[in-house]
Amino acid sequence: MQMVIKKWGNSLGLIIPKIIAKDLDIKDGTSVEVQELNGNIVISPKKYKLSDLLEKIDESNKHEETDFGKAEGKEAW
């Protein structure tokens, strides 16, 4: 599929066709990785690893447990 690069402010932009965005589950605001590989531009959806996300938890962003009241129905606590 041939595309045209357009000027976007001081940078360049590329419009991702709807069918490709849908196939890759890319939406407005999705983080992507952009890299040059052997003279090619490779754009990939950002994949997060649980271990990387857990490393970012510290006392400043750790939340307290929330009590939602007594169990209703067949929940196991």
Residue 73 lies in a domain: no
CA–CA gap between residue 5 and residue 35 (Å, rounded): 16
**What total number of domains does the chain contain?**
1
CATH code for the domain in which residue 18 is found:
2.10.260.10
| Domain boundaries, position 49 | 6-55
Residue 72 lies in a domain: no
pLDDT tens digit string along 12-55? 999 999 999 999 899 999 999 999 999 999 999 888 889 988 99
Residue 46 lies in a domain: yes
CA–CA gap between residue 34 and residue 39 (Å, rounded): 13
Q: What angle is formed at CA 65 by the lines to CA 68 and CA 53, rounded to 5 degrees?
A: 125
pTM of the predicted structure, to 2 decimals: 0.53
pLDDT tens digit string along 62-71? 888 888 888 8
